[in-house]
Amino acid sequence: MLTSISERLGEVNTIHLDKPTTPELRKRNRVKTIHASLEIEGNTLTEDQITAIIENKKIIGPKKDIQEVLNAIEVYNKLPKLNPNSLKSFLKAHKMLMKDLIKTPGSLRLKSVGIMNGSEVAHIASPHENLPYLMKDLFDYIKTGDDPILIKSSVVHYEIEFIHPFIDGNGRMGRLW
């Protein structure tokens, strides 16, 4: 009930805000979002470099880092055309996000993986044989779950990390989705 009341208050407060959203503000927010998400993954590019890439300017930086930014820009630009309730859209987003970074972007992994913390195994991901069922279950929850959107988005992010449906890019996809 508290969450529902908070959501309603947020809606009312938003209606009364007198700040128009400008293209420049959206661009700055996009740069910050891309920078923060990729920095977690070890990307070394700065917000200024990401801005330059968005403006089609040349920058100097690691090829992989530049590719990650280009991919993130592409997926964020196409985000309005993706269906958040669709596994097909989810796989399409992964394909864009991981293009030229891994061998099988947009495909669920076909082998078992573990997440390492130094030399120790921190987490053994769900067996790859279970991925179709687990992802169907997750997307059924996205479509029909009654939880408030804040709770639902947190659950989805956690489950993507826990299930670990891809060889790489799970954290990025969890944050994106």
Q: What pLDDT, on a 0 to 100 scale, did the predictor assign at position 1?
A: 82
Q: Which residues contact 90 (CB under 8 A, 6 or more apart)?
A: 82, 135, 139, 173, 177
Q: Tell me which of 26 and 43 has the higher pLDDT.
A: 43
d(CA 108, CA 170): 11
CA dihedral of 96, 101, 107, 108, whole degrees rounded to 10:
-120
Q: Which residues contact 12 (CB under 8 A, 6 or more apart)?
A: none
pLDDT band at 2 (very low <50, low <70, confident <90, very high): confident
CA proximity to 136, closest of 154, 159, 153, 104: 159
Mean pLDDT across 54-70: 97
Q: What pLDDT, on a 0 to 100 scale, did the predictor assign at position 26?
A: 86
- The residue extents of the domains of the chain are 108-177
Within 10 angstroms of residue 40's Cβ, the number of other Cβ atoms is 11
pLDDT band at 6 (very low <50, low <70, confident <90, very high): confident
DSSP string, 7-25: HHHHHHHHHH---PPPHHH
Say if CB 97 and CB 174 are below 8 A apart.
no
pLDDT in tens, 68-122: 999 999 999 999 999 999 999 999 999 999 999 999 999 999 999 988 888 998 8
